Structure 1
Amino acid sequence: MTGTSAARTIPVQPLTEDAFAPFGWMLGRPFPKDPDPSAYTHPATDFWSQHLFRTGAQDGTEILWVNYRNSEPGVTHLEKHLFTEQAIVPLTGSVIQLMATSHADGSPDMAGAAAFLIAPGQGICMRPGAWHATRALRSPEVRCLMLTRASTTRDLVAHLAAGQPARESAIVEIPRCELVATS
């Protein structure tokens, strides 16, 4: 018998702090029961810490607007950023984030891959080296706020637009997997 095997299916699960922990940190957690000194609540406003963002360099944090348009459930490529955390916060709709950790050689470990539904009012902050792919839940696009390292953005643009070698990121092909929404 010849041909290709069926694509692996990965169920899309709700975003929870515990489920996302192997890949980074969930953003959008409620006001803490035992707030730290940076938390404040008042009838007019509340604010509280979600995460201390680390770029891994003095280049600084960059805030990006990102439009995700790909809503296809099939994923054939993953990317990772080697030196910086990266945060994604959906603004105009929900996204699905496929995540994977790395084997010892740095390649994606698809055995533990997971997909998360991230709705507006939630977000994620991925660890450096976390493999990922993002899909818009709806067409034509979902706009997100992203925090990343400025040099990582410039490096990725040079790679994607001009074919220069990526130094701060990696993009690899993976066996096709299908993201499947659960009800």
Structure 2
Amino acid sequence: MTRQIQTEPLTADAFAPFGDLLDCAGAPDKIINQGLCGRYHDRATLDFADGRAGISIFKAELRSLPYTLDLLERHPLGSQAFVPMSHDPFLAIVAPDADGKPGTPRAFLTQAGQAINLHRNTWHGVLTPLAGSGLFVVIDRIGDGKNLQEHWLDTPYEVIDGS
């Protein structure tokens, strides 16, 4: 048996319970570099228990829709940002916490120029690029301690295109 969830567009309001949308929608906060660059300032809250912020490069295999979601994970000691190194879409799958386990997931489909920062302890799917190179900058906690909890779903979800 498989359950289905549909993708939905990634918007700041819809994603707010899970993290921050990183994009350059609207007017920049400042114009810098001799008037040639708009700065969209302080768009995410990095949140780390001990440790420090680190920048890593991930190369993920491309996936496709429909996508079988059978694993969610979370990082109790730090937030985690996924910044694609291309203008290609990826899935941002998140779920509320339901007494220490993931609740019903939501699948957001990003647009070109969007990235995400997941709040600390937010259940989420694995990195799921749908096109392009699969290269991402990942900004997360570097430090000692167990910062990964995985939850395998007894009944997977099939993520389908909701557009």
TM superposition score normalised by structure 1? 0.77
1:48 aligned residue:
40
Highest CA radius of gyration, 1 or 2?
1
Aligned twin of 2:156:
176
Q: What displacement does 1:102 show?
A: 0.6
Note the aligned Cα RMSD (angstroms): 2.1
Query: Given that residues 18 and 119 in structure 2 are in contact (C-alpha distance below 8 angstroms), is that contact kept between their aligned partners in structure 1?
Result: yes
Separation of aligned partners in 2, 1:67 and 1:96? 15
* Residues 55 and 40 (structure 1), Cα distance of their counterparts in 2 relative to 1, 3 Å cut: farther
Q: Deviations over 1:97-128 (max 9, x none)?
A: 1100111x311112xx2111123411111111
Instruction: Report the Cα distance in structure 2 between the residues aligned to 1:176 and 1:51, rounded to whole angstroms.
Output: 31
* Distance (Å, rounded) in 1 between the aligned partners of 2:19 and 2:147: 18
Read off the aligned partner of 1:176 and give its amino acid letter. Answer: P
Offset at residue 8 of structure 1 (A):
1.2
* 1:77 CA displacement: 0.7
> Between Structure 1 and Structure 2, how many residues are aligned?
156
CA distance in 1 between partners of 2:101 and 2:72 (Å): 10
Per-residue deviation at 1:65? 0.9
What percent identity do the matched residue pairs reach?
24
Asked whether the equivalents of residues 26 and 124 of structure 1 are also in contact (C-alpha less than 8 Å), the reply is yes
User: Aligned partners of 1:120 and 1:151: how far apart in 2?
Assistant: 32
Q: Is 1:81 aligned to residue 75 of structure 2?
A: yes
More contact order relative to length (CA 8 Å, sep ≥ 6) = 2
Q: Give the TM-score normalised by structure 2.
A: 0.85
Please give the alpha-carbon distance, in whole angstroms, between the structure 1 residues aligned to 2:57 and 2:103: 29
2:5 aligns with one of 1, 10, 13: 10
Tell me which amino acid in the other structure corresponds to 2:128.
Answer: R
Q: Once superposed, which parts of structure 1, at least 4 consecutive aligned residues long, lie more than 4 Å away? A: none
Gaps of 5+ in 2: none
- What amino acid is the match of 1:114? R
For the 8 Å contact 2:24–2:40, the answer to whether it is kept is no
What is the CA–CA distance in structure 2 between the aligned matches of 1:70 and 1:121, rounded to whole Å?
A: 18
